Amino acid sequence: MSQAVKPDRYVSFVGIDGDGNSRELIMMLRKHIDDPQKTNAFWEKFKEKLEKVGKPEENSGRSLDELYLIHAYMNNISELFETYEDQPALDLLEKIEAESC
């Protein structure tokens, strides 16, 4: 019985869909932070940063992507998913952290 080889970011990013996983996680996050009952000033500012993804001309020449924002705000994102008991999102966040951050 053979075991599937898991991608290892320390060897290669081959087989890791960091961009796709990041976009999926942001969609899961938006389900919470776009809800007026769940958002706050922090998440509203975070949404402003999301609007600048792929638009360096709107961000002093810095190009942001979803993975960067997830990595930079991992603890905040994790806390939000824990608060709302969103296990699928927590699982994906853990996967992203293990594979890409």
Q: Measuring CA to CA, which residue among 28, 37, 45, 42 is closest to residue 85?
A: 28
Instruction: Give the total number of structural domains in the chain.
Output: 1
Is residue 31 included in any domain, yes or no? yes
What DSSP line would sit under 8-74, residue for residue?
A: -TTT--TT--HHHHHHHHHHHHHHHHTSTTT--HHHHHHHHHHHTBT-GGGTTT--B-HHHHHHHTH
Say what the pLDDT of residue 16 is. Answer: 80
The string of pLDDT tens digits covering residues 52-92 is 999 999 888 988 999 999 999 999 999 999 999 999 999 99
Give the range of the structural domain holding residue 59, as residue numbers without chain letter.
Answer: 18-100
Is residue 36 included in any domain, yes or no? yes
Is residue 2 included in any domain, yes or no? no
